[in-house]
Amino acid sequence: MSSIYDALHAFQSEAQVSPNPTWLLLLLIPALVLMGMISLPLPFGRSHWSAKGKHAFITGGSSGLGLALAELIVERGGSVTLVARDETRLSCAKQQVERLLSVRLDPNKGSSTMTDYKQFVQAISADVSSFEAARRAVQQASTSTCQPDIFFCCAGAATPGFFIAQSEETLRRGMNTDYWTSASMAHAALRSFISSGKKGGKIVFVSSILGMFGMVGYAEYAPAKAAICSLADTLRSEALLYDAQVHCYLPGTILSPGLERENRTKPNITLKLEGTGSGLTPRQCAQGLLRGLSRNQFNITTDFLTELVRSAHLQNSPGNGWILDGFKCALARIVQPLWRWIENDRAIQKEKKLHLAELQTAGVQVAGAPVLASAPSQSE
């Protein structure tokens, strides 16, 4: 022990006489590499979560991401409870997932996997934007032997438009639809875990890249998604008290029926900034989300741009490997200002006169607004 101390003392004395940064690098690099290897979510590591034998409770389960998740979970041996407001669409979604289940369980069709547990698909029509409604839905989905193991909060919708032109009703409805449905479900889910004594239960919030990266035209939607990010970050810590886990999925553009509805009210400048044709299908997003759960990631992303935004966003929750996050954060700090200057701000400034004229035509009083001769419609 004394020889080690003497060697360190000699090294310190030599460094004080003639400091050499090479020695510091030689000492730090192995430590950094080792810590990075420990922290990286390696794709070939053990799986932290599997759908097999699990009961998934999915809000927004009648279409889009929610329905795609239900299909994948059933294909992988799990059971699902679909929750949505529209009874007709919900019934169609339930039948669609049940067909997958019948194929899986039919040994004559050659694709079945016999199990020692019973898979099922059930549907509940409910508006879960209030605590009481969410509690009733969870209670209805639960039995004494089959409580939900994981809650996916997929319900939500966007009504794009310029903030100044939107009504108070629209903005409040957006917060109710996107934030309160998730908050109410999380509240009911934690109560369910505690009352049933379930350990290792999961809550998966669905936010958006817009929850960390605002964009023109999304004032009704982005604040609610940012609130979901903050709620997930907070509840990840609180859930440790109940042996539960919280995750947050940050999708980019999902090529779903919801996107088609969004585009009807989306400002032209927003369409230009987003581009056309880019995005992932609901199934691709669902696959990426389940892959993130299997790697035990808190913030889960499925495209490179969102991953850059995530890595530059400081939270109390763990990242996805601090060395890679550091590189991606540095890249984001370079790319984002360039994009903001070249693409975002300049494109918006070009639309200024047209936008003010459209506001004037729509009945918003605008001092000195230019006269709009023939404004193009949003559908053009």
| Catalytic center residues | 221, 225
Interatomic CA distance for residues 295 and 319, integer angstroms: 12
Coil, strand, or helix at residue 215?
A: coil
The token pair at 82 is 């679909």
d(CA 337, CA 251): 22
Q: In what order do the strands lie in the sheet with 79-84?
A: 121-125, 79-84, 55-59, 150-153, 202-206, 245-250, 299-301
DSSP state of 161: B
**How far, CA to CA in Å, does 2 sit from each of 5, 10, 11, 14, 16?**
5, 12, 14, 18, 21
Q: In angstroms, rounded to a whole number, what is the distance separating the alpha carbons of residues 61 and 338?
A: 39
205 neighbors 232 (Cβ within 8 angstroms): yes
Alpha helices in the chain (DSSP H): 2-17, 21-39, 64-75, 87-105, 131-141, 168-175, 181-196, 222-238, 257-265, 268-274, 282-294, 304-311, 322-339, 346-350, 352-361
Q: Which DSSP category does 207 fall into?
A: -
Q: Which pair of tokens denotes residue 242?
A: 């109940």
